[in-house]
A and B are shown apart, each in its own frame.
Chain A
């Protein structure tokens, strides 16, 4: 357990926000749980291929002072040509001057969590969707609860324009730990689109982002979330997104990972009431020495729900990809439809992919399917393109874009889609993002 000593000191020194104070007992308990478990190691089945010893051994600390990052510095992270609502968090702290939340219908909140700590939805759901049994990394995040985004859309309100939440880890001063804690609640019949993007400034020190996002979709609600991981090659990113869906609600989540040294995206969806639909899409472009691990769990707890999952990966150079997709269909969850597919392309001999679908089905009247493929680029197609005068690199980019593009095409907001297409193409050409 020696690995947690760094973090014990850090925990004791941490003062946080008013929210941190309110949650002191919860935080203390969470830290106790974390200390008892320690960081996961590769001996843990769930972390078999993802070694985070560097995170455990690192001297990462939170930054509590408000930073002096300028608007110009975050400009490249914004969606050019749009003026959508945005909340900017630098090293976990909300920065008003960089944010831009426009007028909203009554009751809608796009704000910081600490300011809304007495909101009934915060009291009800925070640390309840991702709770005690969500693993050591969630415990560590809970121990450092201080700030994050709170998105709340009351009953029957539809917001057309997405809200962009930017999380920037500035590691210029020291190796930085950031523990954003977000809560998104769409009440009955509400609709909202959310973009979470993660970025970094500075490459001298490592950054460690340990993010937790809790999502609740009430009856008939639709919540569309796109998570974009763009922290740089000095970044360790561990994210946990947990959603609970109530009857007839829809949850769309697209997880795009284009950068980072070690990235672990956990996604747990609980289909808690009937006639819910969940769409899980993922894309990872991995090269250099990157490791990207996507772990998902869809829990069909009740009958008549549907889940659709498609993850695609392109792995180049010495990149490593990991996919683990669990689907649980509980005994009572008859008439479940659950589909899962994971497709990968390895572009080099050193690239690797570990993929594991895990379906545990206890009901008998269900439609479930899963498939995984890992292969090389289609040589016939490549030759065909080249025989028309298209250079080899360009031809490969064509094929990779076609392969991965259909995941990006699922994203509803066009400026985001275009931006990600462009960045993916850069990544495939091994350019810096």
Chain B
């Protein structure tokens, strides 16, 4: 589904991703962990097509197509979804109206007919349940005045509505209390199926108790420095990142 080879990316002359490789098969859940500043959000942004980042080397293939050649909207239309670490507030644009446009643009790109209001509302109603969202939230402006938890739930709600094949979740757990964390994780788990893959970026192991990954990677200084099973996440939780850093530094000598 997604193959990243030797990815190098920089922002404002600063190299952040320095030879990152990753291979994700349909239906797999990959967790990416790593200390702050290691490049996790940069990876997410490069995948979604944020133009501030310059890819200087490497390739990304998404369902056998060159992802780096595509505009952000085309990536979304082809099934990529990024749940933002910091969802953006857009005053004056209603959540429902925005989502209807998004759903229909994606449908159009797939040669499907636009959804009428009735079907769309029915779909919203169903997906809202997934993340225990109430109707008032869908009528408000996108993320405007939402609490941290509401913003994250809204990201997962949008993900459910757009039915992507690859979901990238950037610290969707940060800032959530335990109840909100459970709601968000349940929403994500409900979307798991054999054709849908996930990249779950997180700083803490906590989320992975709920969303159980197939593979766990550690990202450090722009590279995947360790890959293991879900036990790796537990080990990191217990011992912190210092031993990883030491391993990397001593290997470099």
Contacts and interface: CB of A to CB of B under 8 A. Distances in A.
Contact of A388 (B49, B76, B141): B76
B162 A388 contact: yes
Nearest to B75: A387
Interface stretch (B81-89, B194-202, B208-216): B81-89
A386 B50 CA distance: 10
A398 B99 CA distance: 12
A308 to B, nearest CB: 19
B186 interface: no
B92 A403 contact: yes
Interface stretch (B10-18, B22-30, B34-42, B100-108): B100-108
Interface of B: 48-51, 71-73, 75-77, 81-82, 84, 87-93, 98-99, 101-102, 105-106, 109, 141-142, 158, 162
B105 A387 contact: no
Contact of A390 (B51, B84, B102): B102
B113 to A, nearest CB: 16
Given A383-B72, A398-B98, A389 B88 contact: no
B101 A381 contact: no
A391 B101 CA distance: 10
A383 B44 CA distance: 13
A349 interface: no
Contacts of A395: 73
Given A384-B87, A388-B98, A392-B71, A402 B76 contact: no
B50 A389 contact: no
A391 B51 CA distance: 15
B90 A384 contact: yes
A389 B92 contact: no
A10 interface: no
A406 interface: yes
Given A387-B48, A389-B162, A394-B105, A380 B73 contact: no
A391 B88 contact: no
Contacts of B91: 402
A392 B109 CA distance: 14
Interface in A376-419: 378, 380-381, 383-392, 394-395, 398-399, 401-403, 405-406
Contacts of A403: 92
A54 to B, nearest CB: 37
Contacts of A406: 92
A391 B84 contact: no
B163 to A, nearest CB: 11
Interface in A134-179: none
A385 B98 contact: yes
Given A383-B88, A399-B93, A402-B92, 8 more contacts: A385-B102, A386-B49, A386-B71, A388-B98, A389-B109, A390-B102, A402-B90, A402-B91
A412 B159 CA distance: 37
A389 B102 contact: yes
B93 A387 contact: no
A406 B141 CA distance: 13
Nearest to B105: A389
A405 B97 CA distance: 14
Contacts of A378: 88, 90
A150 B48 CA distance: 59
B162 A384 contact: no
Given A394-B101, A394-B105, A398-B98, A386 B73 contact: yes
Interface in A93-136: none
A388 B71 CA distance: 11
B143 to A, nearest CB: 9
A380 B88 contact: yes
Given A380-B88, A394-B105, A388 B158 contact: yes
Contact of B88 (A381, A390, A401): A381
Nearest to A384: B88
A383 B50 contact: yes
A383 B81 CA distance: 13
A402 B92 CA distance: 4
B93 A402 contact: yes
A380 B84 CA distance: 11
